[in-house]
Structure 1
């Protein structure tokens, strides 16, 4: 959805003692909004349909054991989440979390785990290069492709079709990327967010990568919680909110939202089944996208004139959105399993895209963990589970885990007493009601801001489907959108009554490298990336003579041309970042001069090519010609760009020269 239009200020009127705010949804987005608004004197009521708070950060207690909905990694760059955890709740991060420098990968049949580290220092870059995940040249290409995407100057105009490109499309457009590198990107996206690279919006993935691109830094990649989400985060946050006077209703469904006399009115169905209308001054809808759409559109038989979509029809476009559930099974064993490392482990090659983490090494203060191993197993591709029913699906996941980790007695079925698994403590959840938003290409143009729909002055949106700087479906994205909604509500209240209530709500500052630094890094490393790509292609050719993929026989010979074009476009973007005062006309003249020089060189190259049936020149001659072209084009681009930067007037137009094809 396009950015919200500015709201017109209504005439000032006497401010109510405490404006009443309804927050629909008790996940981390809604609770973050509730925290900031209650601290500024708003009367906040939270409605959560489930028995427990937290949404995708909740825990279900079964037989006295907390089972978290998802096994989260809390990235170090989650600035707003850490502000709430450390400053508002008063907890020390190092006490409640375990730092992680990367993730581990295990191939089928392998005995050694491979480490993929956060490439934030020279030493971790070297460790990645020699990790064995890919060949050394392809690891260079992989890390460079992440830098390339992070640096790419997307325009940000959601109405521009050319901006709507998926990650696969971006990688395909880069002349240096190999098939194996593209597969690793796809593996990362599918494992973490349950979506393939051919549907993931490249702009959204870029926003995520930019938060990891700070170099050098000594910070860990992420942190793992030393306990359940309920115990360590959600219960302390709920207690904090109640201390601030927030009213929290769990097991309470908001079945309808109407706009009556300019105010949001909720139909609330309590756990006893009795539904009653309640009016508020403001409302924040902090539910998943699907539930928000149902409230905005209404149900058959309800008055359509009182619905959000009647005031703002654009909200109906949110029906484009998709989500996915990641099934999870907690496996408690009767004994300690040897050889399972700490941290997140991806089982490469798993059809279900399995990942596993040993929480018994994190929840060390829990008495039930001292004599046993407890694994949390997630299937990012739940459609690949060949079973029906909770226990059958859970056992199918454990069966596939056993192929990678054959270090325990599996048994023959869920509940088998001869197995090493303590079935009474283990728990499977399909997570059909805790789905993750899919940041696909088709949704990018319709994603709302916190203050959409613009036509409504007192209804706001929050959730990881809303636009934020984090953008990908993460805990930080949810927290940010909750704070943005609270910020917009506070500003709307101030416009209505002429005075802001409390200190302005702000978001934590992010430590991100600027576009100029990223583009400069790309420009410096670009020759190495293309050289590594040629190295990888040559290595494949030598290892498998005649086995090149169709259409890639002359691939190494095209790399100089691709490198030259990439160099020019990157230099152009960097010039705009470093010298925004340069007139676009000057840069256009520079680009024109470079393009014309490139055409002349290509025509010269064409003149020396054999005709149909003529013998081909040796590869060395082709390489020499391409090398000459690349060098000349780069020199022409550099000269033209320097001239434009100095602001010299353009030279008189040269005599017209036809630039199309050379006649024989």
Structure 2
């Protein structure tokens, strides 16, 4: 990524710093870095078999199946529950009436930032029965954002996400109430976060943006984001909003445990894609694309067409089956035993499943064959699931993602009727529902405002009441009642959360913690025919997302291609792109880091 130039000029340093400052000022999120390439080291030789058994039909398993089936392999996917994994949507049982579709529930609303490349490229290769492909027909821009704060004195504000977003939604953005809210919130923020602290935060962003890869991995990976931005001793506004709430809202990570490198990486990618200066990113400040969603339930728009396409290409799906263990002998998997008691024989085996399902497979024989896999047990997971409120009134808010900053349970949301451009009452349910507010709950550990308990200690009904109360307090603080309890027709919490007898979550999410990169596996293992996929695998995006899971599936496919000596072209694996103008500064930082010196801005 960096050129080791000894003769970079003062002008190039200043030019690069200026560009980085523009990025830092543009980013409403956090700074970032490009992680190490995480390239799989392909093995050569070995068996040339073509039979692949993939255990897990989530994002990584489907991506691996997609790449392999198009390259002449025979692929069978074993899935114990449902296809699509944490990206799925589902029908709310018993809600369809009069020929309408069931109300659309989901694990959590989908968000496709402009820096996503692998997921959108896969969508482009999924044909639809009525013509076109998933990306062109179903991926749309969300051109505004609603920023709300859970604190008195702030007011929710609608802001454009692009110039076209401003043009398309100028009446709502320039509405007197919204301008008043923006002014109120801006003045309050300046009071709560002193200018010198804001400038310090920008400086910390610039440090990561101009750090070399070696420093990012060797120094910033070992610090939490809170430690890196030196939140201790700063104002409550600095700690709560700059260091904490933005992190939770944008990347669903805990700022006091997540590594500075991980938070920085995705923040810089978001900011860089927003500039429109990187051709590899399909986004920009003019035409948008910084924030994208699907224009229909995820399964209808994406997962179902994907599975249908893979079936037409020859992928076999075995539902209701999961792997119980792998038999390993002489450095190879010799078979896999299913939970039903059956056995699977294949040339290549892929464990494409979440951490909670992968850990039990790390038996003594597996770890003895690849001791590095034992480190997977050190990785941590957390909860982030969704709840949908089905409302009797269509929201007049422009299509927007809602960031309810500072809410105890770190809530984000999306009204779906307008961006989906449908008549909800004619399409879903019993005719009474005209909109859906889909909300992600990202913090299950902090006490709420009604019951004083964290979500993990609440009943299903208490969670529904608590989430609505928290979101209402943030959204209704500007004097306009945006959310009204009497408009709730019904609601649906992710069915993966159960109480039997105590609360449990069937779909936890891996969270990046400081120093965790070394514990994450690569797609190929030391076991010659065993491969690992999932959002816990080392990838360029280095974040537990559907983008990271998709990238890991491609890495699995490429490792199998190499091990099978296949002449097929490898699946594309993309880096997170950064502005080349920053390279000379990173080269200088590399020299400083190797000499044991701090970053030149780290004072």
The equivalent position to 1:74 in structure 2, one of 108, 112, 134, is: 112
TM-score by length of 2: 0.73
- How large is the Cα RMSD of the aligned pairs? 3.8
Q: Kindly indicate whether residue 213 of structure 2 is the aligned counterpart of residue 151 of structure 1.
A: no
Checking the alignment, whether the CA contact within 8 Å between 2:510 and 2:536 is kept in structure 1 is yes
Q: From the superposition, tell whether residues 511 and 408 of structure 1 become closer, same or farther in structure 2 (CA, over 3 Å).
A: closer
State the number of aligned residues.
495
Alignment match, 1:389: 459
Q: From the superposition, tell whether residues 457 and 116 of structure 1 become closer, same or farther in structure 2 (CA, over 3 Å).
A: farther
Q: From the superposition, tell whether residues 401 and 98 of structure 1 become closer, same or farther in structure 2 (CA, over 3 Å).
A: same
Alignment match, 1:377: 439
Q: From the superposition, tell whether residues 310 and 2 of structure 1 become closer, same or farther in structure 2 (CA, over 3 Å).
A: farther
Q: Deviations over 1:338-380 (max 9, x none)?
A: 5544211122332222222111222333534686121112221
Alignment match, 1:210: 268
User: Structure with the greater relative contact order (CA < 8 A, sep ≥ 6): 1 or 2?
Assistant: 2
Q: Deviations over 1:136-172 (max 9, x none)?
A: 94666555543432222241686x5775111122212
SS in 1 for 2:214: coil
Alignment match, 1:238: 307
For residues 246 and 163 of structure 1, the distance between their equivalents in structure 2, rounded to whole angstroms, comes to 39
Deviation at 1:222, TM superposition (A): 1.5
For residues 232 and 462 of structure 1, the distance between their equivalents in structure 2, rounded to whole angstroms, comes to 24
SS in 1 for 2:60: helix
For residues 232 and 205 of structure 2, the distance between their equivalents in structure 1, rounded to whole angstroms, comes to 12
Deviation at 1:206, TM superposition (A): 2.5
SS in 2 for 1:383: coil
Segments of structure 1 that go 5 or more residues without pairing to the other structure are 298-303, 411-418, 495-499, 521-570, 578-583, 596-629, 635-664
Q: From the superposition, tell whether residues 244 and 147 of structure 1 become closer, same or farther in structure 2 (CA, over 3 Å).
A: farther
For residues 483 and 289 of structure 2, the distance between their equivalents in structure 1, rounded to whole angstroms, comes to 32
Q: Deviations over 1:12-33 (max 9, x none)?
A: 66x44xx111111111111001
Segments of structure 2 that go 5 or more residues without pairing to the other structure are 1-35, 94-101, 168-178, 278-283, 498-504
Q: Kindly indicate whether residue 58 of structure 2 is the aligned counterpart of residue 27 of structure 1.
A: yes
For residues 461 and 60 of structure 1, the distance between their equivalents in structure 2, rounded to whole angstroms, comes to 27
**Mapping 1:172-251, distance limit 5 Å:** 172=230, 180-182=237-239, 183-214=241-272, 215=275, 216=277, 217-218=284-285, 219-251=288-320
Checking the alignment, whether the CA contact within 8 Å between 1:76 and 1:221 is kept in structure 2 is yes
Q: Kindly indicate whether residue 322 of structure 2 is the aligned counterpart of residue 253 of structure 1.
A: yes
Q: Kindly indicate whether residue 587 of structure 2 is the aligned counterpart of residue 488 of structure 1.
A: no
For residues 40 and 402 of structure 2, the distance between their equivalents in structure 1, rounded to whole angstroms, comes to 45
Which structure: larger Rg?
A: 1
Deviation at 1:47, TM superposition (A): 1.0
Deviation at 1:74, TM superposition (A): 0.4
Alignment match, 1:460: 531
Q: Deviations over 1:221-259 (max 9, x none)?
A: 220111111001100110111011001122212111222
Alignment match, 2:488: 421
For residues 117 and 178 of structure 1, the distance between their equivalents in structure 2, rounded to whole angstroms, comes to 28
Alignment match, 2:572: 506
The equivalent position to 1:450 in structure 2, one of 497, 504, 523, is: 523
Q: From the superposition, tell whether residues 22 and 166 of structure 1 become closer, same or farther in structure 2 (CA, over 3 Å).
A: same
For residues 576 and 112 of structure 2, the distance between their equivalents in structure 1, rounded to whole angstroms, comes to 15
Alignment match, 1:315: 373
Deviation at 1:4, TM superposition (A): 9.2
For residues 104 and 146 of structure 1, the distance between their equivalents in structure 2, rounded to whole angstroms, comes to 24
Checking the alignment, whether the CA contact within 8 Å between 2:80 and 2:320 is kept in structure 1 is yes
The equivalent position to 2:349 in structure 1, one of 280, 283, 298, is: 283
Q: From the superposition, tell whether residues 575 and 428 of structure 1 become closer, same or farther in structure 2 (CA, over 3 Å).
A: closer
Q: Kindly indicate whether residue 148 of structure 2 is the aligned counterpart of residue 106 of structure 1.
A: yes
SS in 1 for 2:223: coil
For residues 112 and 40 of structure 2, the distance between their equivalents in structure 1, rounded to whole angstroms, comes to 34
Checking the alignment, whether the CA contact within 8 Å between 1:45 and 1:246 is kept in structure 2 is yes
Q: Kindly indicate whether residue 401 of structure 2 is the aligned counterpart of residue 363 of structure 1.
A: no
Deviation at 1:40, TM superposition (A): 0.7
Q: Deviations over 1:577-618 (max 9, x none)?
A: 7xxxxxx69x979x99xx9xxxxxxxxxxxxxxxxxxxxxxx
Q: From the superposition, tell whether residues 509 and 157 of structure 1 become closer, same or farther in structure 2 (CA, over 3 Å).
A: closer
For residues 3 and 82 of structure 1, the distance between their equivalents in structure 2, rounded to whole angstroms, comes to 21
For residues 157 and 264 of structure 1, the distance between their equivalents in structure 2, rounded to whole angstroms, comes to 40
For residues 507 and 2 of structure 1, the distance between their equivalents in structure 2, rounded to whole angstroms, comes to 10
Q: From the superposition, tell whether residues 140 and 115 of structure 1 become closer, same or farther in structure 2 (CA, over 3 Å).
A: farther
For residues 91 and 576 of structure 2, the distance between their equivalents in structure 1, rounded to whole angstroms, comes to 35
Alignment match, 2:508: 435
Deviation at 1:184, TM superposition (A): 1.8
Checking the alignment, whether the CA contact within 8 Å between 1:28 and 1:54 is kept in structure 2 is yes
SS in 1 for 2:462: helix
Q: From the superposition, tell whether residues 491 and 395 of structure 1 become closer, same or farther in structure 2 (CA, over 3 Å).
A: same
TM-score by length of 1: 0.66
Checking the alignment, whether the CA contact within 8 Å between 1:213 and 1:513 is kept in structure 2 is no
Deviation at 1:102, TM superposition (A): 5.5
For residues 156 and 56 of structure 2, the distance between their equivalents in structure 1, rounded to whole angstroms, comes to 40
